[in-house]
Chains A and B, each alone.
Chain A
């Protein structure tokens, strides 16, 4: 009998959804927009992450060693640096490598090349190019390299010159991320409130029916159930529709963003994470629809 009731409640909720298709369409339309916005916000955050990573990837710190430092010692330092959790990668540039890069870059400058040839030895220093995971970590790495035991071999660390740039970048990326989160929260809240109010209005149209159901002897649970089922259906249908709506949107927008920010392919990201998006939108829709109905119906159950 319990199972029978559950089945009846679900059937009744489904019937309500189908039979009042006009009302359902209006409610679903609003929820689709809200969930669509949520999906866009998720992609927007992916984009800001990519921008931040892109900016941070352009910064590095170079350590220049004295010319007479043995290669083994430089590689030893490299080992140590790689072991640090802040360090993402360390590239070793030997004297020969540095010379090769230098001549490559200045091959059109005859004067420079000539003066280089007149020197009987390589004037360049071996160096390590360090990339940190986050821009804010360069300070720690630079401090690490200031240690007493490196004094003899390290000529200079170019952190000081880059310091200003790095600090500005750190605060910029921090701001971009904070702004992303704040915007997401505000718009997400608006989306939730709009959906909630729409469902509340839908339930408002049923207030007379609800009193009838009670008079006929339906328990509160039996009155509430179908409306919650209906709300859940609104949410799931809206979630799926918002998910599908993302495709044409990305089809047009994604190439433009890739032009603007090379390496950011939102369409690819969306397709690769399709199921994550599916669960995000459908689960949010389901929860939003279900709880909105539950809260909205509560008013009419108490006279």
Chain B
């Protein structure tokens, strides 16, 4: 999903996770209209989606391990599952040796990997990534993009919002371009054109 700042990318994400109500139209996940879900049931929906943000949004007073484990704890997974899955997923994102580090001790790229691990832990059917590379340098940007590609190949839909022309042009995936709150283009193998 491409478009300049203020085009409406984040708004679409807010609609997708049920944080905002659409003035028109409907949003479905697995045949369920997510805007008919009651406020106090929304957390079930959020466990089916993984979310990654530009500012990482990790829990600052918890370690890497605990940040990922938290997502499993709230879903009621057993301790055995947590002990098994968390190191595995951290291995997948390339952080097997940072389990007991706190977010403040990590680089931006590492933080984003933790966030991706956390988003992946429920084996969601879709991952929403809102400008995940916005705060990262070039090298880290490509690391994260490659990681997302790998996850995509393993069978998870990824919605990536970005205004990074380089990233979009190198991915050759479906590109939806937004401008001033409207979809102006939607093409397979698209490019960033404005």
Contact = CB atoms under 8 A, between A and B. Distances in A.
Contacts of B75: 217
A172 interface: no
A218 B71 CA distance: 7
Contacts of B192: none
Interface string B114-146: 000010001000000000000000000000000
Interface stretch (A137-145, A207-215, A270-278): A207-215
A220 B43 CA distance: 8
A215 B59 contact: no
Query: Chain A's interface: helix, strand, loop or mixed, by majority?
Result: helix
B118 A216 contact: yes
A1 B43 CA distance: 17
Contact of B43 (A8, A16, A218): A218
Interface string A1-35: 10011001000000110011000000000000000
A1 B47 CA distance: 17
Interface string B53-81: 00001111110000000110111101100
A216 B78 contact: no
A215 B78 contact: no
Contacts of B60: 209
B76 A217 contact: no
Nearest to B59: A209
A219 interface: yes
Interface of A: 1, 4-5, 8, 15-16, 19-20, 208-209, 211-220, 222, 303
B122 A215 contact: no
B74 A222 contact: yes
B59 A214 contact: no
A16 B61 contact: yes
A212 B19 contact: no
Given A1-B76, A4-B76, A217 B71 contact: yes
B122 A217 contact: yes
Contacts of B44: 217
Contact of A219 (B58, B59, B74): B74
Contact of A8 (B17, B51, B73, B122): B73
Contacts of A208: 57
A5 B76 contact: yes
B46 interface: yes
B40 interface: yes
Interface in B18-63: 19, 40, 43-44, 46-47, 51, 57-62
Contact of A215 (B46, B62, B73): B46
Nearest to B70: A216
Nearest to A19: B61
Given A15-B61, A214-B46, A216-B51, 13 more contacts: A208-B57, A209-B60, A212-B58, A212-B59, A215-B46, A216-B71, A217-B46, A217-B71, A217-B74, A218-B74, A219-B74, A220-B40, A222-B43
A219 B61 contact: no
Contacts of B61: 15-16, 19-20, 209
Given A212-B59, A219-B43, A4 B78 contact: yes
A211 B60 CA distance: 13
Contacts of A15: 61-62
Interface string B79-94: 1000000000000000
A28 to B, nearest CB: 17
A213 B46 contact: no
Contacts of A218: 43, 70, 74
B52 to A, nearest CB: 10
B58 A217 contact: no
A114 to B, nearest CB: 93
A104 to B, nearest CB: 78
A217 B43 CA distance: 4
Nearest to A206: B61
B46 to A, nearest CB: 4
